[in-house]
Structure 1
Amino acid sequence: MSLAFKTLSFGIKKAPPKKNESDARNNRKELSTITEDSLQKFDELREKMIGTVETKKKKDSKKKKMAKKASIQLLSSRKRQYESDEESENDVEESTGAVEKKMQKLLDDIRRSNRIFTWGDHLPNIILRFSDSNLSPNLLKKLSEYSIRQPSPIQMQSIPFMMERRNVLASAPTGSGKTLAFALPVIEEVLGLKQRADYSSTKTSKLLVIVLEPTRELAAQTYTEFVKYCDGSSISVANFSGEETDIGTADILVSTPNRIVFHLDKIDTSALRWLIVDESDRLFEVVEGQDKCFRNQLGAIYKACDAKCTRVAFFSATFSHEVEKWCKENIDSIGMVCVGERNSSNTSVKQELTYCGTEDGKKIAIRNLLRTSFKPPALVFVQSKDRAVQLVKLLSAIDSNLKVDSINSGKSDKERDETMERFRRGEIWVLVCTEVLGRGLDLSDVGLVINYDLPTSIVSYIHRVGRTGRAGKSGHAVTYFTDTDMKYIKSIATVIRQSGFEVPEYLLEMKKVSRDTKKEMLKHAPKRHKIAMVKEQVIKRKKMLAKAAAEEKKESVVEMKKNISKPTPELKKKKMIKKKKL
């Protein structure tokens, strides 16, 4: 092994020390840009608003009393008193209107500074504090315990929507707190329902909320988040991960859509209040009509819900115009919230494009990156489970001290869960994965994401990059591309440029990919040379070579037998002479 390969693990001999949880909380950056001055100004305006309303109430009360005395007063004195009261009341109304305008302007300015864009009728105002949303004291206490002081931009606008029981389509960058944006109002509503006398008197529990997630890993993470904020309450939360899950007593059920559809006849949705669809852009990733199409599965679940009772909320880091169109056509009076530019990547993640020329060039690039600027843990994305296994083989061969493993759909559920747990504990430094980990998972300590294989779409790129730079932390994402990838690179280069990072100008001037090519890429990833030969592939190759050699030997033996049995010219001549003599 060369010296260059031996030095790969320089600087990573020891696993990184685990951070103190309290230090991590204190170092967390606030995601919103609400200044102390804005909060103080808002409080002053609110106090003025309350003061003017109370003044108006006092004036109204005084006016009623004066009206009773007016019957015994002289006509002239009554007229003067009436005019005085009327002038005072107008002054109060003008003052109230002025305060309302100032407060609305302040909220609009904060909305613009946080890049919160909304569409729909009767849009509710944003909240500047969680306490402004009428959350219960228990939930506010939980938020304080986890050092969550201010709502993030998506929470500032989505929570008021859902507290008013409005259908919502929301989009915000990865790591911006979308899970909490729908979890808090849902938990608050369930708590209110369970405290009602007519609900608590019923003997059987009713399912009130379904949360749909595209993968098992993401469902498990969302379930953990709900359990954390429902702890100590009467709410029952279940993760529908297997046949043994007790869904009969659950108030909130988290699941993948396929499992819900399969057991739909056993699930009572008559009292369902909310249907939450996380990573909702997955609706249109598969061509409609296929058996496992997420859109068809959602349609079956939505049809089983009571349209009058159930509200829906779609959340994702990305959403297409097709999703928006479908929601407008199928859901009444939906409100839309978008934080930042539509389909934009996380600006707190430093993003780079690295040209490698060939597949062999990518091997050299990842070796150099891990050797020079690597702080574990890191995620490495490839396009298939076979390539994930191959890359683990390559990295392990480079340095046996590098703690590397892979996770993909080829592993069992138990194996995937164990691998994720080891990665979270710091026992795995480099985790090679496919799109199975591309969405939603909150791996807060990941500082580096490597796109070893170019993503097949900007949506995939945005979600992959979003595995780092979570909750306001900084991150680093590196994307490799080769000559084969040149025809697909423009869209991803554009996203990186829009996020404020430099890319070569020639990449932005390249021809756009056609719609048919995009669809083909989603169905079939580009063909690439093998990264490394793994044990199973070596055995398979040896068997193929042995089989080919045996067939070749067999053919040569048959040919030799034919040649032996076939008479030579000399033998033919001798036979002819012998025949003539006879």
Structure 2
Amino acid sequence: MGQRAVKQSGAPALRTADPETDQSSDQALLAAVLAQASGHRFGEIEVPVTIARALERMGYEVPTEVQARSIPPLRTGADLIGQAQTGTGKTAAFGIPIVEKIDPAAGHVQALVLTPTRELCVQVTDEIARIGQFRNVKTVAIYGGSSMDRQISALRRGAQVVVGTPGRVLDLIRRGELHLDRVHTVILDEADRMLDMGFIVDVETILSRCPRQRQTALFSATMPYAILRICDRFMRRDATHIAVRPELQTVESVRQLLYFVAEQDKVRALLELTEAFGFDRLLVFRHTQIGVDRLAATLKRRGQNVAALHGGLSQRERDRTLADFKAGRIQFLVATNVASRGLDITDLPYVLNYDIPEDADTYVHRIGRTGRMGKEGTAITFVGEWDLDAWEAIRAQVKAPIEEGELRLYGTA
């Protein structure tokens, strides 16, 4: 599972709303906003008894910042623009309000969640299904590379929440199999990734097929102009804005290390650090697909257990590679930014920026693959001779402490 609240031992003290009215008090909503800072439990948010049971079973207790700040306005029906990374608990932040609003007796699509990738689509579907397990909410995942017939059958059986990638969602709309005329809630999850992957035109087309009187929430790690244009065109002027600052998400749980390494020495440096740290699993970032393939091939020639992950691979290849990495059958996973963002890899201990990130946002995205939800992790960055200006710009924006390491290959360790 991906984004979720912090788990703690013991059963959460959940307070439940009147299951007949399914409503929450203003005081409870205010308590939810304050929960993150005050250390209160998830139970400070009054929820219907069926959702309370689900959250208890899932082990949810303390809201993350994005949950504490998003759930109250979403429950009131407000539009919301949220700037937050993956791994911050976004899915539960919009999943709980969605499940509350669903009419389990109605056999039509009531909520739509758009995601950039199949992996994230599956994660979000599973999370919402678990939140809605005691309300009999029917949640369906729709994405390319999988049987369309099975997805159509699921829709025809009366799906109430549809989670999908833009291309497949639009395809099913055009085939007359997916009807959005009674959708009351639309979520755009990781909108900047959908922009990066060329889905924005599809997203705009899908939004134009939804009722004008709806609730829309958009979550994005960055806010480029094209995303702001979508907000302006398709969301209410009084939408609630929240921003979870990246440095607050990494400073405590991720140890950040810097090594100055010439380009021609990076492979040797990686092998030296492998010996020093004893990497069991390491996610390595490169800018391009060609760079990913070249490094993976070089490491393989050196006898390393390595695989590549990028958008040039088929969905089946990507799924198999990711499953092997999660299971520990692959030691090094070399990946591009687009292929790796949104991956939910539990307890990933190490991340390496083999190529320096383009900017501070990308840096935070990358190192956010480790140290998720408070778990400890280590993020290493190689800075070459041509990277100094770019690195200084990143470092100026990342307020967390960054240690400078030394390498034996330069005779300094």
Please indicate the TM-score interval, normalised by the length of the shorter structure: 0.7 to 0.9
Which residue does the alignment assign to 2:104? 194
Tell me how far apart the structure 2 counterparts of residues 295 and 109 of structure 1 sit (CA, whole Å): 32
- Structure 2: gaps (5+ residues): 1-5, 14-25, 406-413
Where do residues 62-81 of structure 1 align in structure 2 (5 Å cutoff)? none
Contact 2:355 2:382 in 1 (8 A): yes
Which residue does the alignment assign to 1:316? 220
Tell me how far apart the structure 1 counterparts of residues 36 and 402 of structure 2 sit (CA, whole Å): 23
Tell me how far apart the structure 2 counterparts of residues 322 and 414 of structure 1 sit (CA, whole Å): 31
Selected match of 1:294 from 181, 199, 202: 199
Which residue does the alignment assign to 1:390? 294
Tell me how far apart the structure 1 counterparts of residues 42 and 32 of structure 2 sit (CA, whole Å): 18
- CA, structure 1 residues 489+407, in 2 after alignment: closer, same or farther (shift >3 Å)? same
Tell me how far apart the structure 2 counterparts of residues 376 and 136 of structure 1 sit (CA, whole Å): 43
Which residue does the alignment assign to 2:170? 261
Where do residues 512-551 of structure 1 align in structure 2 (5 Å cutoff)? none
Selected match of 2:275 from 348, 371, 375: 371
User: Could you list the per-position Cα deviations for residues 406-456 of structure 1 after superposition, in whole angstroms to 9, with x for gaps in the alignment?
Assistant: 222222211211222222222222211112333222212101111112222
Which residue does the alignment assign to 2:193? 282
How far the C-alpha of 1:355 sits from its partner, in A, is: 1.4
Selected match of 1:210 from 112, 121, 145: 112
Tell me how far apart the structure 2 counterparts of residues 177 and 385 of structure 1 sit (CA, whole Å): 30
Which residue does the alignment assign to 1:133? 45
Contact 1:218 1:440 in 2 (8 A): yes
Which residue does the alignment assign to 2:127? 225
- CA, structure 1 residues 490+263, in 2 after alignment: closer, same or farther (shift >3 Å)? farther
Which residue does the alignment assign to 1:554? none
More strand by share: 2
Matching of residue 350 in structure 1 with residue 255 in structure 2? yes
Contact 2:352 2:380 in 1 (8 A): yes
- CA, structure 1 residues 326+238, in 2 after alignment: closer, same or farther (shift >3 Å)? closer
More helix by share: 1
Letter in 2 for 1:464: R
Q: TM-score, normalised by structure 2?
A: 0.81
Tell me how far apart the structure 2 counterparts of residues 462 and 251 of structure 1 sit (CA, whole Å): 35
Selected match of 1:417 from 313, 319, 330: 319
Identical aligned residues as a percent: 27
How far the C-alpha of 1:336 sits from its partner, in A, is: 1.0
Tell me how far apart the structure 1 counterparts of residues 318 and 51 of structure 2 sit (CA, whole Å): 32
Where do residues 121-200 of structure 1 align in structure 2 (5 Å cutoff)? 128-190=40-102, 193-195=103-105, 199=106
Selected match of 1:338 from 228, 236, 243: 243
How far the C-alpha of 1:277 sits from its partner, in A, is: 0.8
Contact 1:438 1:460 in 2 (8 A): no
Contact 1:216 1:256 in 2 (8 A): yes
How far the C-alpha of 1:383 sits from its partner, in A, is: 1.9
Q: CA RMSD in A?
A: 3.3
- CA, structure 1 residues 142+377, in 2 after alignment: closer, same or farther (shift >3 Å)? farther
User: Could you list the per-position Cα deviations for residues 373-396 of structure 1 after superposition, in whole angstroms to 9, with x for gaps in the alignment?
Assistant: 134222111122232222222223
Which residue does the alignment assign to 1:436? 338
Tell me how far apart the structure 1 counterparts of residues 36 and 68 of structure 2 sit (CA, whole Å): 12
Q: TM-score, normalised by structure 1?
A: 0.59
Which residue does the alignment assign to 1:307? 212
User: Could you list the per-position Cα deviations for residues 223-251 of structure 1 after superposition, in whole angstroms to 9, with x for gaps in the alignment?
Assistant: 22223333354222111123231233321
Tell me how far apart the structure 2 counterparts of residues 108 and 224 of structure 1 sit (CA, whole Å): 24
Which of the pair has more CA radius of gyration? 1
Letter in 2 for 1:457: D
Which residue does the alignment assign to 1:250? 159
Selected match of 2:138 from 227, 236, 256: 236
How far the C-alpha of 1:366 sits from its partner, in A, is: 0.7
Letter in 1 for 2:345: L
Which residue does the alignment assign to 2:410? none
Letter in 2 for 1:157: R
Q: How many residue pairs were aligned? A: 376
Contact 1:454 1:480 in 2 (8 A): yes
How far the C-alpha of 1:183 sits from its partner, in A, is: 1.0
- Structure 1: gaps (5+ residues): 1-23, 31-35, 37-99, 115-126, 200-204, 286-291, 505-582
